[in-house]
C-alpha cells in the first residue's frame, strides 16, 4: 500500500535534497519557490528500482538483478517498464495521495537527440557529450513539498517496506551539515560560433524560409567553459538569481544536468492534456516604466504573435494525434509571463487524452517539442542539424515525471546546463522567421542566458561554496 509520512515544511527545499543526494541517481524537480512567481510543488527522489537509458541506438534496462540491452523504439520499452511496475503500484485510492502530483513512478530526462530514434536525421553535427539520450528511473518513494499549503511529505509505494521507509525518514530528518563543495569556473563562457558565423547561418535560414522549405527554425548557439568543483553549488548560485517553475537538478555518471527552465512541455492531469509553448521574448527593463513598455511591446508584436501562432498550430497537430477527436482547444493565446531576466509570450493548448492512448504515447508523438524545433518540424530539425555545429544533447529535450497515479508533467529543457568531465555547456536560441532581424535575434540569445552565465563567471579566480 501507499503510505504518507509528514515532514517539517522547509522553504529552502535544497536542504532535503542535500540529505539524500549521496544515494543513487538523485533527482530534484524544483519549482523555484519561494522566490519564484510561478510553480507550486518540489519533488525529490533517489534510489530507483530500475533504470532505463538509451544511447547509440540501444536501450539499456538495469535493475538490482539484471542488465539488459534492447533494440527498437525506446518509448516502447519505456511503456513496458512503466506498465510492469504499475501492476505492483496501481493507481492510489487514498484521497490525500491522489492529490499529490507524484506518488512514485518514472522520473528522468529525454534529450533533444532522442528524436533521432523517431525520425531519420542527418549526421552533420559533432556529438561531443557522452550523456545518454534518455535516462529515467522507476522511483518507489519521493518527497513532495507543496509551497501553497506549506507542507512536506514522504510518499512511499508498495515497493518499499517499513524498514526502508524508516531509513529514508531518518536521512530526511537529519539536519546536520550536508552542504556542498566549492565551484570555480576556469574561464568566461565562449560560444561555438562567432558573430559572423551566426549571421551567416541566419542568412541561410532566411533563404530556406523564402524558398518554401520552412516557416520557422529554432536556431541556437552553445556556450562552453571548464570548471572544477561541485555542479550542485553552481546550480544553487543560478537558482538564487533565476528562480523558474520547471527547474531541475539531476546527477549523472560524470557530472550533472542543471536546468532552470520556465517552459512546460506536456502535462496530463486526469487525462486532460496541457502544453504551454513559449515563443516571443523581451528583456526586463531596468526601471518599472521601461519594463512595462517592453512587456507591452512583446504583447503587441505582430512578428512575435506570428511566431507563437506557428508553434501553437504545430503543437495542436502533435497532441491531436493522441487526443479525443474535437477535444483540442487553445484557451489562452499570447499571454505574457515575466521572469527574472525576460518577458515571454506563452500560449496554452489543451485536449483530452484518447481512451486507448497513454501519457507515454503523448510524449512520443510530440517529441521533441515544437517550440524548440520550428515548423514544419522535421524539415526544421534537418536545418538545425545542418547549421548548428554540435548536437544539442539535453538542450531542448525534456525533464519530468509520470506518476503511478497517471499524472504527468514535463518541461522543455531551455536555460539548461550540462556539467560533464570538467566541461560545462549552456545553450540559447530563438525562433527565426521571415521578418526576423539578425542583430535582434543574436542579442536575444544573450538576454536569455546572461543570468545563468554571470553568476558562474563571477567564480573565476575564486572559490564559491
- Non-local CB neighbours of 334 within 8 Å, separated by 6+ positions: 280, 299, 305, 308, 345, 347
464 occurs within a structural domain: no
pLDDT at 247: 97
CB 45 within 8 A of CB 142: yes
Cell (9 digits) for 244: 523558474
What pLDDT digit, counting tens, does each position of 68-98 carry? 999 999 999 999 999 999 999 998 988 999 9
- Cβ-in-10-Å burial (0-12, 13-18, 19+) of 236 comes to buried
**Nearest in space to 69 (alpha carbons), one of 128, 132, 27:** 132
pLDDT at 145: 97
CB 315 within 8 A of CB 359: no
CB 147 within 8 A of CB 39: yes
What pLDDT digit, counting tens, does each position of 171-222 carry? 999 887 666 689 999 999 999 999 999 999 999 999 999 999 999 999 999 9
153 occurs within a structural domain: yes
Please list the active-site residues.
Answer: 263, 279
462 occurs within a structural domain: no
Q: Please state the domain count of the chain.
A: 1
463 occurs within a structural domain: no
203 occurs within a structural domain: yes
What pLDDT digit, counting tens, does each position of 363-409 carry? 999 999 999 999 999 999 999 999 999 999 999 999 999 999 999 99
Parent domain of 62: 3-457
Low-confidence ranges of the chain (pLDDT < 70): 35-36, 177-180, 463-465
pLDDT at 57: 93
- Domain CATH code at residue 399: 3.60.120.10
pLDDT at 34: 73
348 occurs within a structural domain: yes
292 occurs within a structural domain: yes
pLDDT at 465: 58
465 occurs within a structural domain: no
pLDDT at 291: 94
149: phi then psi, degrees, rounded to nearest 5: -90, -5
Cell (9 digits) for 145: 513539498
Model confidence, pTM: 0.95
Task: Give the span between the Cα atoms of 172 and 19, in whole angstroms.
Answer: 6
Amino acid at each position: 500500500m501507499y503510505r504518507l509520512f509528514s515532514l517539517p515544511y522547509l522553504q529552502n527545499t535544497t536542504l532535503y535534497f542535500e540529505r539524500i543526494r549521496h544515494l543513487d541517481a538523485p533527482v530534484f524537480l524544483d519549482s523555484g519557490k519561494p522566490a519564484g512567481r510561478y510553480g507550486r510543488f518540489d519533488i525529490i527522489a533517489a534510489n530507483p528500482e530500475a533504470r532505463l537509458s538509451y544511447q547509440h541506438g540501444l536501450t539499456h534496462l538495469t535493475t538490482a538483478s539484471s542488465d539488459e540491452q534492447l533494440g527498437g523504439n525506446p518509448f516502447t520499452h519505456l511503456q513496458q517498464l512503466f506498465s510492469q511496475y504499475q501492476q505492483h503500484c496501481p493507481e492510489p485510492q487514498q484521497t490525500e495521495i491522489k492529490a499529490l502530483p507524484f506518488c512514485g513512478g518514472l522520473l528522468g530526462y529525454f534529450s533533444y537527440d532522442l528524436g533521432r530514434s523517431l525520425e531519420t536525421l542527418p549526421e552533420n553535427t559533432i556529438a561531443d557529450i557522452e550523456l545518454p539520450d534518455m535516462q529515467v528511473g522507476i522511483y518507489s518513494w519521493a518527497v513532495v513539498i507543496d509551497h501553497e499549503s506549506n507542507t512536506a511529505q514522504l510518499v512511499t509505494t508498495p515497493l518499499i517496506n517499513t524498514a526502508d521507509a524508516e531509513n529514508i525518514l531518518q536521512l530526511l530528518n537529519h539536519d546536520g551539515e550536508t552542504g556542498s563543495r566549492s565551484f570555480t569556473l576556469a574561464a568566461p563562457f565562449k560560444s561555438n560560433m562567432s558573430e559572423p558565423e551566426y549571421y551567416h547561418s541566419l542568412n541561410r535560414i532566411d533563404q530556406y524560409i523564402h524558398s518554401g522549405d520552412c516557416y520557422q527554425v529554432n536556431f541556437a548557439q552553445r556556450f562552453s567553459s571548464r570548471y572544477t568543483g561541485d555542479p550542485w553549488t553552481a546550480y544553487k548560485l543560478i537558482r538564487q538569481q533565476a528562480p523558474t517553475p520547471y527547474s531541475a537538478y539531476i546527477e549523472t555518471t560524470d557530472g550533472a544536468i542543471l536546468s532552470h527552465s520556465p517552459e512546460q512541455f506536456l502535462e496530463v492531469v486526469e487525462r486532460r492534456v496541457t502544453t504551454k509553448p513559449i515563443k516571443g521574448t523581451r528583456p526586463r527593463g531596468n526601471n518599472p516604466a521601461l519594463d512595462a513598455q517592453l512587456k507591452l511591446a512583446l504583447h503587441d508584436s505582430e512578428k512575435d504573435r506570428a511566431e507563437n501562432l506557428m508553434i501553437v498550430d504545430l503543437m495542436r497537430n502533435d497532441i491531436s494525434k493522441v487526443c479525443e477527436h474535437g477535444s483540442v482547444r487553445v484557451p489562452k493565446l499570447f499571454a505574457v509571463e515575466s521572469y527574472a531576466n525576460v518577458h515571454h509570450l506563452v500560449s496554452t493548448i489543451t485536449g483530452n487524452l484518447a481512451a486507448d492512448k497513454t501519457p507515454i504515447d503523448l510524449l512520443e508523438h510530440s517529441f521533441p517539442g515544437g517550440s524548440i524545433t520550428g515548423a514544419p518540424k522535421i524539415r526544421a530539425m534537418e536545418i538545425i542539424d545542418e547549421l548548428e555545429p554540435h548536437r544539442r544533447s539535453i538542450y531542448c529535450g525534456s525533464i519530468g515525471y509520470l506518476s503511478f497515479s497517471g499524472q504527468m508533467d514535463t518541461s522543455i529543457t531551455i536555460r539548461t546546463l550540462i556539467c560533464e568531465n570538467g566541461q560545462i555547456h549552456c545553450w540559447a536560441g530563438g525562433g527565426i522567421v521571415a521578418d526576423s532581424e539578425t542583430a535582434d535575434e543574436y542579442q536575444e540569445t544573450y538576454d536569455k542566458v546572461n543570468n545563468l552565465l554571470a553568476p558562474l563567471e563571477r567564480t573565476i579566480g575564486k572559490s564559491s561554496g
